Amino acid sequence: MPEEKKPKEFVPGSVGTVKVFGVPVRLHFTFILLLIFLLFIGIGGRQSGASTAIYVLALFASVLLHEVGHTLVAKRYGIRTIEIVMFPIGGVSRPERQPKAREELWIALAGPTVNLLIAIGLLAWVAASQGFVALEKLREPTDANLAERIAFGNLLLWIFNLLPAYPMDGGRILRSILALWRPEEEATRIAAGAGQILAILMGLAGLLMGNFMLVFVALFVYLGAFQEGAAAKGRIFTAGFPVRAGMITDFRTLRHGDSIRDAGNLLLATSQHDFPVMHGDSVIGLLTRSALVRAMLTQGPDTYVSSAMDRNFKRVSPDVPLSQAAALVSDPGGCALVIDDEGKLLGMLTSENLSEFVLLRQAGMAK
């Protein structure tokens, strides 16, 4: 496994942290904008402001409970959830490791099952207490049909998430079933392709109907499916290779006594963006381009690089499978230092050179 000791990084653009069953729950800024938008368009009409707020918060809670369902089942398989991030199209649980096919089947089913149980429970309560409101009256929000609308909202979440296309739960279920007979990466690629096709159809339908919310959802689905498909392709073409096969071996380093001015000159003179900082033969830190620029602006060019470097940099062994280490540099501009068991710096692994490695492998296999 990659020798990463620092805590996992949170998804960029997510804010706030509230723990549920010990799992950090964070809100993506686009989800916050969606909540404000829903509250704004819901004010007025025959529904009170309090009911509007309850309806929006109830749907938020339903999505959160959906993700908690994933988390609890994953925990039974010994898979820790790093965080839950709430996006406009739903929540995303980030597991510490990729579940096996049989594990993912039950983990993926858990979320939609929670929404189905919520809907059944609410409809049963409404039937027993006051009777159902006619379906045609549910189109106009009122205080009287609040419970039914929350129930039908959960039914829609159940149906939407079971669509057999990645990144919805239905796509994960499809991938887990395909993975019983096919290689995992190939199963992921098929599910991601189905997700992209579905997103395109959703986007076209949204444009034809003038439903821009559907277009918005389609965009998120397409991006999620595209990213997972690209990640699956990367795992396919890096399989069987160690980190040393894809690392950068021609690189420049800085000394702990060098200044930010020295680092800036090196940045301009080379195509390198990140610089290992050495003390003798030992690596003591990593100076990234963003940290260099920030230090130049706030501390001045004569500041030592040791005051601006990252001491908790990502590191990986040269013999770790490249497909596993790719997670360390999955973000744009990601960088990990390749260090052997004796603490010797052997190379650097970056998102850019990993992408180039995949492209060269793909071209070689095409021949």
Active site residues: 67
What angle, 0 to 180 degrees and rounded to 10, lies between the N-to-C axes of helices 101-129 and 169-178?
Answer: 140
Amino acid at 276: P
DSSP string, 94-111: EESSPPPHHHHHHHHHHH
Burial class (CB in 10 A: 0-12, 13-18, 19+), 186: middle
CA-wise closest residue to 18 among 59, 64, 53, 77: 64
Separate counts of helices (H) and strands (E) for the chain: 12, 10
- DSSP string of 199-241? HHHHHHHHHHHT-HHHHHHHHHHHHHHHHHHHHHHHHHHHTT-
Look at the chain and count its residues.
367
At 31, phi and psi to the nearest 5? -70, -40
Q: Which residues does 14 contact at the CB level (< 8 Å), separation at least 6? A: 26, 27, 28, 29, 83, 85
d(CA 325, CA 349): 9
